[in-house]
Amino acid sequence: MTAPLMPPPFAVISGAQVQGALAGREREIVDLVEATYHWHGAGDSVNPPSYFLRFPDRPTARIIALPASLGGKVRVDGLKWISSFPDNVAAGIPRASAVLILNDHDTGYPFACLESSIISATRTAASAALGAQTLSSGRPRPRRVGFIGTGLIARYIHTFLAGTGWTFDEIGVHDTHAESAAGFAAYLDQSGSGKATVHDSAESLIRASDLVVFATIAPKPHVEDPTWFEHHPLVLHISLRDLAPEILLDAVNIVDDIEHCLKADTSPHLLEQLTGNRDFLGGDRGGTLDDVMTGQVQIPADRTVVFSPFGLGVLDLAVGKYVYDRVRAAGDLHVVEDFFHDLRRHG
Flag whether 48 is in a domain.
Answer: yes
pLDDT band, residue 3 (cuts 50/70/90): low
Could you tell me if 76 and 49 lie in one domain? Answer: yes
Q: Please check whether residue 125 lies inside any domain of the structure.
A: no
Whether residue 342 is contained in a domain is answered as no
Residue 2, pLDDT > 80, answer no
Same domain, 227 and 146: yes
Question: Going by C-beta distance under 8 Å and a sequence separation of 6 or more, which residues neighbour residue 163?
Answer: 24, 26, 27, 129
Question: Does residue 129 sit within a domain?
Answer: no
**C-alpha distance from residue 136 to each of 69, 214, 298, 301, 305 (Å):** 30, 17, 11, 9, 9
Domain at 154, CATH number: 3.40.50.720
Amino acid letter at 63? I
* Mean pLDDT across 241-261: 96
Measured CA to CA, the distance from residue 58 to residue 55 in angstroms comes to: 5
Higher pLDDT, 337 or 160: 160
Q: Is residue 344 part of a domain?
A: no
Q: Are residues 163 and 256 in the same domain?
A: yes
The answer on 214 and 330 residing in a single domain is no
Helix (H) or strand (E) holding 189: helix 178-190
- Tell me: do 113 and 165 sit in the same domain: no
Cβ neighbourhood burial of 306 (10 Å; 0-12, 13-18, 19+): buried
Parallel, antiparallel or unpaired: strands 170-174 and 196-198: parallel
Spatial separation of the C-alpha atoms in residues 304 and 315, rounded to whole Å? 26
Residue 279 lies in a domain: yes
Given a cut of 80, whether residue 133 has pLDDT beyond it is yes
* pLDDT (average), residues 42-68: 95
Quote the domain boundaries for residue 185. 138-308
For 311, left (φ over 0), alpha (ψ -120 to 50), or beta? left
155: in domain: yes
304: amino acid identity, one letter: T
pLDDT for 92 beyond 70: yes
Whether 1 shows a pLDDT value over 50: the answer reads no
> How many domains does the structure of the chain reveal?
2
Enter the DSSP assignment of 321. Answer: H
pTM: 0.94
- 41-45, 125-129, 190-194, 206-210: which range is least confident on average? 190-194
The CATH number assigned to the domain holding 113 equals: 3.30.1780.10
Pair (278, 169) in one structural domain: yes
**CB-CB contact of 234 with 142 (8 Å):** yes
Look at residue 340 and tell me if it is in a domain.
Answer: no
Q: How many CB atoms lie within 10 A of CB 231?
A: 12
The string of pLDDT tens digits covering residues 152-171 is 999 999 999 999 999 999 99
**What burial class does residue 86 get, using C-beta atoms within 10 Å of its C-beta: 0-12 exposed, 13-18 middle, 19+ buried?**
middle
Is 197 found in the same domain as 97? no
Q: Cα–Cα distance between 13 and 20 in angstroms, integer?
A: 11
Give mean pLDDT, residues 102-121: 96
Same domain membership, residue 22 and residue 104: yes
Three-state SS for 252? strand
**DSSP 8-state secondary structure symbol assigned to residue 118:** H
Please name the amino acid found at residue 244: A
Output 264 or 101, whichever has higher pLDDT: 101
* pLDDT tens for each residue of 268-323: 999 999 999 999 998 889 999 999 999 999 999 999 999 999 999 999 999 999 99
